[in-house]
A and B are shown apart, each in its own frame.
Chain A
Amino acid sequence: GQQLNQSPQSMFIQEGEDVSMNCTSSSIFNTWLWYKQDPGEGPVLLIALYKAGELTSNGRLTAQFGITRKDSFLNISASIPSDVGIYFCAGQRDAGGTSYGKLTFGQGTILTVHP
């Protein structure tokens, strides 16, 4: 199935640095979501974006819904060791009927934070 283009694939940073990752798509999504997955666990929702141009923060995390509705970025400021994990973007079209709620995921960004 279709996937979103997420970059970078991996990042190795020092504690305290800021991180930025983004997702792009060739088609429009009505909702953009950012998840974090720890090894052996299911994804946990970090930020949900519902409106084109929306900029939303959750603590040290900031995400934006691109104005074209085809992209989104996630920033993490002042990274700490517990930020380590895999970050996924996901898009939702809300096409209705049996397609409601279906998510399309990006390939993921593996984040490593060195103390």
Chain B
Amino acid sequence: GAVVSQHPSRVICKSGTSVKIECRSLDFQATTMFWYRQFPKQSLMLMATSNEGSKATYEQGVEKDKFLINHASLTLSTLTVTSAHPEDSSFYICSALGGFNYEQYFGPGTRLTVT
């Protein structure tokens, strides 16, 4: 149990376009989901906390107008990278808080490449 999926697993887009990444908790409900960003050979950096039915809470230095987060249901949160630039290329990972032990379960990640 406690499976989190992400879609797509990989995406390539052109500069200036927007990309949406989905995060789903498949077998449990999650009122709270988190979005992380990971550059090669680096650790996970928290971008924002997504709470179902309310506005996301962004970490310092993360542009909320550029990284739009929508947590419209208890099993789905989306991250939209708007007006993407090459420096937005990264590995984006979501996690969902819940399950039997109310722990944080991570998705498999989405590799974004902006050309």
Q: Do these two chains really belong together in a complex?
A: yes
The residues of A with any CB-CB pair to B shorter than 8 Å are: 1, 3, 33, 35, 40-45, 48, 88, 98-108, 110
In chain B, positions 70-115 with a C-beta closer than 8 Å to chain A are 91, 93, 95, 97, 101, 103-109, 111
- Among B6, B34, B101, B106, the residue within 8 A (CB) of A101 is B34
Complex CA distance for A10 and B114, rounded to whole angstroms:
30
Cβ–Cβ contact A102 & B106, under 8 A: no
- The contact sample of 17 A-B pairs, CB cut-off 8 A, is A1-B45, A1-B46, A41-B108, A42-B4, A42-B93, A43-B93, A45-B103, A45-B104, A48-B101, A48-B103, A88-B44, A98-B49, A104-B46, A105-B43, A105-B44, A107-B43, A108-B43
Complex CA distance for A5 and B69, rounded to whole angstroms:
30
Cβ–Cβ contact A40 & B111, under 8 A: yes
Query: Nearest A residue to B59 by beta-carbon distance?
Result: A1
Chain B: number of interface residues, binned into ranges: 20 to 34
- Among A43, A44, A48, A101, the residue within 8 A (CB) of B32 is A101
Overall SS of chain A's interface:
mixed
Cβ–Cβ contact A101 & B97, under 8 A: yes
A71 to nearest B CB, angstroms?
17
Cβ–Cβ contact B107 & A102, under 8 A: no
Interface centre among A1, A44, A99, A101 (most CB of B within 10 A): A101
B99 to nearest A CB, angstroms?
10
Mark each residue of chain B from 23 to 36: 1 if its CB lies under 8 Å from any CB of chain A, else 0. 00000000010100
- Among A44, A98, A101, A106, the residue within 8 A (CB) of B43 is A106
Residues of B within 8 A of A98 (CB): 49, 51, 57
Residues of A within 8 A of B60 (CB): 1
A106 to nearest B CB, angstroms?
7
Residues of A within 8 A of B57 (CB): 98
A68 to nearest B CB, angstroms?
23
- Among B34, B91, B101, the residue within 8 A (CB) of A102 is B34
A34 to nearest B CB, angstroms?
12
Residues of B within 8 A of A3 (CB): 43
Cβ–Cβ contact A103 & B104, under 8 A: yes
